[in-house]
Homo-oligomer: A and B are copies of this chain.
């Protein structure tokens, strides 16, 4: 038994689970204790038949190709499986009229690992004696950003401006431009676009503002496009990717039907690509090649674009409409609930304004009503001071069946009536 005094500071830091992960145990125990639950907590995407069929078809092609023995039977380069790197270069140059080369691309074992490598290259102790941090310019944001830095306390999150919609019961987060500044202790910024958990999509102007700030500060801006265009294309509003100076654009195929294979794709300037690639060489050599070969074939054949546009996007867009309608139908108008505008992603984000209790208590109370959600405060990594709205939200997954979604909303309504 290795007690804590045998484990390094890094080991202690990295073996603690933060954010959503800390409550996953509770959720798993709740679900496995039995009884029917309406589970709106899932982050695991739905296996959509058309998408699964596409990956199975391509898998068969890859396995029966003459390349297969070399794909799984050889080590690869840390940059990535060359046909995938080539496919990304070609596709993005064509699609967005860019002129990237393979020097601007690296494939990582999932986008989580990209953020692990990327944040630790740009945060933590520096030679000049400073300790730099990662800035999340718009909270709430992906809970995993809280766990990737090797050094504790190296993530700083900024609270957003809230724009309440005049129609009522609807709102949107916006960058707080007035108070925005980047201290010299900031090494990099990260935003997810579309945002997990809120479904917010930063406007083009907001991204350009952040890019400009990043250029002035001489730091990279990581734009986590895990739900964005072109893959998986889970945006319901204009969300054109933005490339260029200081932007590290990252994608994953996890929401395009391939989470099990851990494929992250990064487009950035050469010096950043090189740093991530070398870190990967030392830490894990390279991403698995089978998934990379699938991705290359899916991109080159345009089948990935098609299923994203025709299957995945409509599925979640319809699900968002469904839950929006249910919420408007069943939640009492007298309660000041606000649903975040559904601009993209896989979740609905409900702000229970002036909630008489905390989001954690709400989560527990909802469990008693047989509804599992995720308490919103887990999505505020690096929150610097108390901010009441951070404890008034819950994240609702769009992955449950229509029936479960509607029933869950009815039960949330009952719970809210009891609480308010």
Contact = CB atoms under 8 A, between A and B. Distances in A.
A255 to B, nearest CB: 10
Contacts of A55: 69, 72-73
Contacts of A389: none
A59 interface: yes
Contacts of A113: 283-284
A209 B5 CA distance: 24
A123 B8 contact: yes
Interface string A216-244: 00111000000000000000000000000
A286 B278 CA distance: 20
Contact of A262 (B10, B21, B148, B284): B284
A148 B72 contact: no
Given A14-B279, A279-B15, A283-B116, A122 B7 contact: yes
A132 B64 CA distance: 49
10 contacts: A1-B269, A8-B126, A9-B124, A17-B281, A44-B74, A75-B254, A110-B284, A113-B284, A116-B283, A147-B282
Interface of A: 1-3, 5-12, 14-18, 21, 43-45, 47, 51-52, 55-56, 59-60, 63-64, 68-76, 109-110, 112-113, 116-117, 120-128, 132, 144, 147-148, 150, 187, 218-220, 254, 257-262, 269-272, 274-275, 278-279, 281-291, 294
